[in-house]
């Protein structure tokens, strides 16, 4: 007589091993990344628990949550025990985390240094597979008035309309501009076109008493600041 397969649903675990109860009784900070993901997926497969499955998924990304957030639904479903619903749940949770980080950075509102620009923009463009160019408009106290995506291009570059940048600056009453774009390749070295565009915008803005305060090149984990490197 064959044995019935063991269920790895969380509800069948011992009380001490249940991540939901652990979060309730000890707080969310007490849980590992794998335990948090296990709560999302609820159960593992016939061979491993939800936590073990979560650990295996994390191991595939070197336990890097940013890399986990990049996995597609199809890639997540490649793991035994992860169907479409569970894959979508994980993807949704990763996206919420990314958006929360962006909102926390925006709450600061005031730009105090190049790193504050990076913290504001990295969640938005740092992990994109294509290049985007953004403008941050600030007042004379360096408080953010608004930030706009100016253009979206391929991995090799993007087009920027200087007239549109300055028109928006006048409309919102900005006294300063911060240019930001990402390099999907991961390189932080500014290209000749990056330097030329910076100078073009700086010269055009000066005629309207608007300052280009910085130009950041953003990648997933680092940035290059024209102001910090005395290139403005």
> How far is residue 35 CA from its own chain's centroid?
22
Domains, the chain, ordered by start: 10-100 (no CATH), 109-225 (3.40.140.10)
pLDDT of residue 1: 42
Each residue's pLDDT tens digit, 131-175: 999 999 999 999 999 999 988 875 555 567 888 899 999 999 999
Q: How many CA atoms lie within 13 A of 1 on its CB side?
A: 2
pLDDT of residue 55: 93
The reported pTM is: 0.58
pLDDT confidence tier of residue 66, bands split at 50, 70 and 90: confident
Say if residues 41 and 53 touch (Cβ distance below 8 Å). Answer: yes
> How far is residue 164 CA from its own chain's centroid?
26
pLDDT of residue 105: 59
What are the C-alpha distances in Å from 130 to residues 68, 83, 156, 157, 181? 19, 29, 8, 8, 10
pLDDT confidence tier of residue 7, bands split at 50, 70 and 90: very low
What are the C-alpha distances in Å from 214 to residues 48, 53, 102, 135? 51, 45, 20, 10
Which two structure tokens, joined as six digits, stand for 175? 């006294």
Say if residues 37 and 57 touch (Cβ distance below 8 Å). Answer: yes
3-state SS, residue 67: helix
| Least confident residue range of 6-10, 81-85, 185-189, 218-222 | 6-10
DSSP letter for 143, please. Answer: B
Q: How far apart are CA 4 and CA 167, in angstroms?
A: 70
pLDDT confidence tier of residue 25, bands split at 50, 70 and 90: confident
Average pLDDT over residues 108-113: 79
């Amino acid at each position: 007589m064959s044995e019935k397969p063991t269920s790895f649903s969380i509800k069948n675990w011992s009380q001490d091993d249940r991540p939901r109860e652990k979060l309730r009784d000890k707080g969310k900070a007490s849980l590992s990344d794998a335990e948090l993901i296990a709560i999302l997926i609820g159960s593992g497969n016939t061979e491993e628990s939800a936590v073990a499955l979560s650990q295996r998924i994390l191991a595939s990304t070197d336990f890097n949550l940013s890399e986990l957030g990049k996995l597609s639904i199809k890639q997540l479903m490649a793991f035994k025990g992860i169907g479409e619903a569970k894959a979508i749940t994980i993807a949704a949770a990763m996206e919420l985390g990314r958006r929360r980080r962006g909102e926390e950075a925006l709450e600061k509102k005031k730009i105090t240094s190049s790193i504050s620009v990076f913290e504001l923009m990295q969640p938005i463009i740092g992990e994109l597979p294509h290049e985007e160019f953004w403008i941050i408009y600030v007042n004379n106290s360096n408080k953010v008035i608004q930030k706009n995506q100016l253009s979206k291009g391929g991995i090799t570059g993007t087009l920027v309309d200087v007239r549109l940048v300055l028109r928006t600056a006048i409309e919102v009453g900005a006294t300063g501009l911060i240019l930001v774009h990402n390099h999907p390749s991961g390189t932080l070295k500014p290209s000749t076109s990056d330097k030329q565009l910076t100078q073009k915008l700086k010269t055009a803005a000066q005629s309207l008493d608007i300052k280009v305060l910085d130009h950041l090149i953003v990648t997933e984990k680092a940035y290059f600041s024209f102001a910090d490197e005395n290139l403005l």
